[in-house]
Structure 1
Amino acid sequence: MGKTKSNFVQRLGKINWDLAVGKDENFDHTIQALRKALAAEEALVRMDSHHTYAEKIQRVEDVIAELSLKKCQHVQIGQPGVLKGISGGERKRLALASELLTNPSLLFCDEPTSGLDSFMSYNVVQMLKAMAETGRTVICTLHQPSSELFQMFDKICLMAAGRTAFLGTPLEADSFFKKLQAPCPVNFNPADYYIQLLSIIPGREESCMQAVKNICDEFEASDIGRKIKQQTLAAPTSISGDIWTISNLQLSPYKVSWFSQFRAVSWRCWLSVMKNPRLTKVRCVQVFFVTILISLLFWQQKYDQLGVQNINGALFLFLTNATFQNLIGVITTFCGELPLFLREHKNGMYRTDVYFLAKMLADIPSFTILNVIMVSICYYAIGLNPEWPKILNTIGISLLVVYAVMSAGYFVSTIAPNIATANSMVTIIVTPFMIFGGFYLSVESIPPYLIWLSDLSWFKYGNTALLINQWQNVTNIICDRTNTTCPKNGEIILESLGVKMVR
Structure 2
Amino acid sequence: MVGNEEAASLLSSDGNTDYGGTSRMTELGPITPVTLAWHNVTVTTKRSERILLDNISGLALSGHLTALMGASGAGKTTLLNTLLVRNLHGLNVEGRVTVNGRELGKEITSVSGYVQQDELFLSTLTVKEHLSLQACLRLPGDYTKEKRKRRVYQVMTQLGLLKCQNTLIGAPGIRKGISGGEAKRLTFASELLNNPAILFCDEPTTGLDSFMAESVVRVLARLAHSGRTVICTIHQPASELFSLFDRVLFLAGGRTAYIGPPAKALAFLDRCGYPCPDDYNPADMIIETLALVPHEEEHCRQRISQICSTFLDSDICEGINVELKESEQIGVYPSVRRRAPLSMQVSALLRRSFLDNLRNPSLTRAKILQKLIMGLFLGLLYLQTLRDNPVRVGIANVNGALFFIVCEFTYATLFGILNFLPADFPLVVREYHDGMYGVAPYYFARVLSYIPLFTVDGTLLLHLHYGFFQYVSRFLSRKMGISICPSFPIAVSVAGPMLTLLSLTGGLYANVGELPKYIAWVQYLSWFSLEKWIARVIEMCRHYYRFGFEALAINQWSDVATGECYMSDCRMADAVLSQFSFAKENFTLDILLMLLYIVFYYLIGCIGLYFRVKRARYPIVRDPFNPSRHCFTHITAQHYDKILLSRPRYETEAMLAAKRDGLAVVVCGENFSAADVVSTLQQRDYNAALLRSSVELWKQKYPRGLLTKTDQDKLDIVTLAAQHAENTRPSIEKPMTA
- Name which of 461, 480, 494 aligns with 1:374: 461
SS at 1:70 equivalent: coil
Q: How does 1:77-96 map to 2 (within 5 A)?
A: 77-96=169-188
Q: Answer whether contact 1:315 1:463 (CA < 8 A) is retained.
A: yes
Question: 2:291 maps to which residue?
Answer: 199
For 1:229, the aligned partner's letter is N
Would you say 1:296 and 2:389 are equivalent positions? no
Alpha carbons of 1:267 and 1:394: their partners in 2 closer, same or farther (altered >3 Å)? closer
Question: 2:191 maps to which residue?
Answer: 99
Alpha carbons of 1:85 and 1:449: their partners in 2 closer, same or farther (altered >3 Å)? farther
Alpha carbons of 1:277 and 1:169: their partners in 2 closer, same or farther (altered >3 Å)? same
Q: How does 1:250-329 map to 2 (within 5 A)?
A: 254-299=338-383, 301=386, 302-329=389-416
Q: Answer whether contact 1:35 1:74 (CA < 8 A) is retained.
A: yes
Farther-moved stretch of structure 1 (493-502 vs 136-145): 493-502
- Name which of 549, 555, 559 aligns with 1:473: 559
Farther-moved stretch of structure 1 (123-132 vs 284-293): 123-132
d(CA) in 2 for partners of 1:478, 1:327: 41
Q: How does 1:57-76 map to 2 (within 5 A)?
A: 57-76=149-168
d(CA) in 2 for partners of 1:318, 1:392: 16
SS at 2:423 equivalent: coil
Report the alpha carbon displacement of residue 38 of structure 1 after superposing the two structures with TM.
4.5
Question: 1:502 maps to which residue?
Answer: 585
d(CA) in 2 for partners of 1:97, 1:476: 71
Alpha carbons of 1:256 and 1:433: their partners in 2 closer, same or farther (altered >3 Å)? same
Question: 2:500 maps to which residue?
Answer: 431
Q: Deviations over 1:257-278 (max 9, x none)?
A: 2222222222112111122222
Alpha carbons of 1:478 and 1:123: their partners in 2 closer, same or farther (altered >3 Å)? farther
Q: Answer whether contact 1:436 1:460 (CA < 8 A) is retained.
A: yes
Alpha carbons of 1:109 and 1:290: their partners in 2 closer, same or farther (altered >3 Å)? same
Q: Answer whether contact 2:247 2:261 (CA < 8 A) is retained.
A: yes
Would you say 1:227 and 2:280 are equivalent positions? no
Give the percent of matched residue pairs that are identical in Structure 1 and Structure 2: 36
Q: Answer whether contact 1:376 1:395 (CA < 8 A) is retained.
A: no
Alpha carbons of 1:190 and 1:232: their partners in 2 closer, same or farther (altered >3 Å)? same
- Name which of 462, 486, 492 aligns with 2:548: 462
d(CA) in 2 for partners of 1:276, 1:194: 49
TM-score when normalising by structure 2: 0.56
Question: 1:18 maps to which residue?
Answer: none
d(CA) in 2 for partners of 1:177, 1:85: 46
Q: Deviations over 1:154-200 (max 9, x none)?
A: 22111112221111222111221222231111211111111100011
- Name which of 365, 383, 391 aligns with 2:470: 383
Q: Deviations over 1:65-117 (max 9, x none)?
A: 22222233223333444444333322222111110101122211011122333
d(CA) in 1 for partners of 2:423, 2:129: 24
Alpha carbons of 1:476 and 1:443: their partners in 2 closer, same or farther (altered >3 Å)? closer
Report the alpha carbon displacement of residue 454 of structure 1 after superposing the two structures with TM.
1.1
Question: 1:176 maps to which residue?
Answer: 268
SS at 2:582 equivalent: coil
Question: 1:12 maps to which residue?
Answer: none
Would you say 1:360 and 2:447 are equivalent positions? yes
d(CA) in 2 for partners of 1:183, 1:168: 18
Report the alpha carbon displacement of residue 447 of structure 1 after superposing the two structures with TM.
2.3
Q: How does 1:18-167 map to 2 (within 5 A)?
A: 36-167=128-259
Report the alpha carbon displacement of residue 121 of structure 1 after superposing the two structures with TM.
2.2
Q: Answer whether contact 1:165 1:215 (CA < 8 A) is retained.
A: yes
- Pick the structure with greater CA Rg: 1
Q: Answer whether contact 1:32 1:74 (CA < 8 A) is retained.
A: no
TM-score when normalising by structure 1: 0.80
Q: Deviations over 1:212-233 (max 9, x none)?
A: 1111121122221111112213
Question: 1:441 maps to which residue?
Answer: 510
- Name which of 434, 438, 454 aligns with 1:347: 434
SS at 1:74 equivalent: coil
Question: 2:477 maps to which residue?
Answer: 392
For 2:568, the aligned partner's letter is T
Question: 1:492 maps to which residue?
Answer: 575
For 2:344, the aligned partner's letter is S
SS at 1:86 equivalent: coil
Alpha carbons of 1:351 and 1:368: their partners in 2 closer, same or farther (altered >3 Å)? same
Q: Answer whether contact 1:394 1:466 (CA < 8 A) is retained.
A: no
Report the alpha carbon displacement of residue 444 of structure 1 after superposing the two structures with TM.
2.4
For 2:561, the aligned partner's letter is T
d(CA) in 2 for partners of 1:171, 1:375: 74
Question: 2:719 maps to which residue?
Answer: none
What value does the CA root-mean-square deviation take over the aligned residues? Answer: 2.7
Q: Answer whether contact 1:106 1:136 (CA < 8 A) is retained.
A: yes
SS at 2:477 equivalent: helix
d(CA) in 1 for partners of 2:572, 2:280: 94
Identify, as 1 or 2, the structure richer in helix. Answer: 1
SS at 1:233 equivalent: helix
Would you say 1:338 and 2:430 are equivalent positions? no
Alpha carbons of 1:89 and 1:33: their partners in 2 closer, same or farther (altered >3 Å)? closer
Q: Answer whether contact 1:436 1:454 (CA < 8 A) is retained.
A: yes
SS at 1:68 equivalent: coil
SS at 1:71 equivalent: coil
d(CA) in 2 for partners of 1:476, 1:369: 36
Q: Answer whether contact 1:38 1:267 (CA < 8 A) is retained.
A: no
Report the alpha carbon displacement of residue 143 of structure 1 after superposing the two structures with TM.
1.9
Farther-moved stretch of structure 1 (465-474 vs 377-386): 377-386
For 1:257, the aligned partner's letter is P
For 2:178, the aligned partner's letter is I
- Name which of 185, 188, 199 aligns with 2:280: 188
SS at 1:103 equivalent: coil
Q: Answer whether contact 2:126 2:165 (CA < 8 A) is retained.
A: no
Report the alpha carbon displacement of residue 382 of structure 1 after superposing the two structures with TM.
2.2
Q: Answer whether contact 2:124 2:168 (CA < 8 A) is retained.
A: no
d(CA) in 2 for partners of 1:386, 1:51: 52
For structure 1, the 5+ residue unaligned runs are 1-30, 238-250, 417-421
Alpha carbons of 1:350 and 1:189: their partners in 2 closer, same or farther (altered >3 Å)? same
SS at 1:75 equivalent: coil
Report the alpha carbon displacement of residue 37 of structure 1 after superposing the two structures with TM.
4.6
d(CA) in 2 for partners of 1:34, 1:76: 4
Question: 1:245 maps to which residue?
Answer: none
d(CA) in 2 for partners of 1:204, 1:451: 70
Report the alpha carbon displacement of residue 476 of structure 1 after superposing the two structures with TM.
6.5
Report the alpha carbon displacement of residue 235 of structure 1 after superposing the two structures with TM.
7.9
